[in-house]
A and B are shown apart, each in its own frame.
Chain A
Amino acid sequence: MSLLAHKLRSFIESLPASFLLGVRLAASDSMAFGAAVTGLAVGVLVMFVEIGFLIAILQAQARIATLVRGDLIIISAAQTSLHDWQRFDRVRLAQALGYKQVEQAIPIYESGMLLRNPPARSVHRVIAFAFPADAMPLDIGNPTKVKEALQKPNAILFDRLSRPLFGQISPGHEIKLNNQTYDVAGLVDFGPDMIMDGAVFMSEGTWLSTEPGARPIMGVIRLKPGTNITLAEHKLRALLPGDVTVMTPHDAYVREIDFTLRAAPIGFIFGLGAAAGLVIGAIICYQTLYNQIFDCAKEYATLRVMGFSNSFFRRVMIEQGVLLALASLVVGAIGAVAAYWLLDDATGMPITLGMDILFVVGIPTVGVAAFAADMACRHILTPEPTELY
């Protein structure tokens, strides 16, 4: 303990006088500092909201790929996005089983349907999925419970994360899908995205009873334990005709995000919004430091006359900019948590303030603040500090 205290003491003792001088200068005028942090935090909050929402949209769009419980998926080769479902022949799944390392090839069916919830007197489009009750190819809830519920005749499972527009739907209710009555046998977790407001799930048997010749939109492949997935992917591609393609769920996830970014200008729109936040932050940071330099012009000029180098002043100013940025990031992040909660409430697309968003927002913020500080510093380093005497 005393050794530690001693070490700490000698460490502090060894710090130079100019250590964190900029931090001292920035923090000393708490009014100006608070005002600057508030302004900058608004810019930071805008970035958090824009980028958080973009990430939420991208993740929601690609969600089904993250929920696959399997090693590989088979989809139609004509399909470009996980929302533009193209159906393929069920025979392809049987053919996939021809590769000896494939243990299971599970079909998933999908179709848009009209959901009528009699008590709420509402009719809304919903996405319906179906799969063999005992296979559980998607991670949407407890497998045993899902299986039990789906095995009941005429049962559907309702996605409890659906947008509220469907009204109250709980187990025991009856709902109509395309004018046919189903029993709500349970609730699962899936979640809406930009296109879907909600989802229902039923067993393959129930699905085929209304549409006997239905063709799946996805096949989930489970390989035998120890199989090399990449190798199996290649084998299956070679084995199956060209109307379907094989990929890992992760590749499908990446492909979907890539597709969403290219197909819709959301990357650009949200990027522009985030850039606006960054510009606001940079301007406020510059303005704050410029004012500070202006107010302390004689003090800075004195240090220059005494012989402090240009890099000393840049360090002092950049420290101040970085301190402003860090403080605003903290304030902005607190605001972002509230904003994300509101967005989740309004859209059903949850956003978590993870390390990814913190870095995506934090690094440019600190970078831009340092840049603004460096720009402001030019006002200290004017040619000759002759105004002092």
Chain B
Amino acid sequence: MSYNVNEKGYYGDFGGAFIPEMLYPNIEALRQNYLNVMAEPEFQKEFNQLLKDYVGRPSPLYFAKRLSKKFNTKIYLKREDLNHTGAHKVNNTIGQILMAKRLGKTRIIAETGAGQHGVATATVCALMGLECIVYMGEIDIARQAPNVARMKMLGATVIPATSGSKTLKDATNEAIRDWINNPKNTHYIIGSAIGPHPYPDMVTRFQSVISEEIQWQLKEKEGREHPDYVVACIGGGSNAAGTYYHFLDHDDVGIIAVEAAGKGIQSGKSAATSALGKEGIIHGCKTLLMQTKDGQITEPYSISAGLDYPGVGPLHAHLYKTGRAEFYSATDDEAMQAGLELTKLEGIIPAIETAHALAVFTHKTFKPDDIVVISLSGRGDKDLQNYIDYFNL
């Protein structure tokens, strides 16, 4: 069993490129070029240099002593929150902006939920001097105000998505429509491991620096490259894909995904795609998604803007269907408590997205000598208002 994408762009039954003809030339150009470009020594050099000097990689692998004690297991945190711009998202935007430049594109568009991907995109556009347009759901603009301000300061134009649930799904629709209307000079930097092939694979490869580092960092600390478990939250699945990547074909590493249950899986206000979803097409790829029995995509809900998405990337649909990964979901309340707990025990305020991954301990008990690596995908600065409101701070 392989967990990598095949030459047709599928992970098992999932993936592909279900796109209208208007998008075909750009997607096809990307498909034909992305692996070659990524393999160029010059590209590698520039990418790695920027990750090091600009993003601040490698991100630390931190042994969380007090958290470990509390849950009676060995917990390491992969500190993507310490990256420049505050989340894992920048690994991908650095890669894609270099790709866009090599494809001769001068105008960058992106969608964003929590605003982390929007900020990471606006940042690399400022760095490269390229025009940047970010689509963001109207509701997310309200709940992630600091990131909206950051994008504007970075010179990006933030356009509200006012259709549907006014969140990430709708922002993605608007970005795709923009690309249809601007096929020549524009590159679309998708922010998660979603969309038509080759996006899920390209984003995964750019994010795979996370698991690459975990291997040698864990070797230094524990004398072994493989943890017993890797854990990540899943919105579309980019931090998860990067955290799992080098362990996918190693059965000694357990893979754990935590989705957002919102108010509860059966509450009608949830974003737990693996539990509630069925196979179908969303944003150009075949995957699991939340939908009515007539195939209309339903509105998800999560307190966390970055997990408020009705699908998962095709890799994760495949990991779910084959049983390679264990899937859990954390409610708003469980995630908020887990976020507060990390803050109190370790002095790290996580993004609310990330707090879902930390809530894994309310769902699964690990053995005392298990080594559990958690992707600390982002920091909580952008969520302060939500924490304040929730806990009446």
A binds B: no
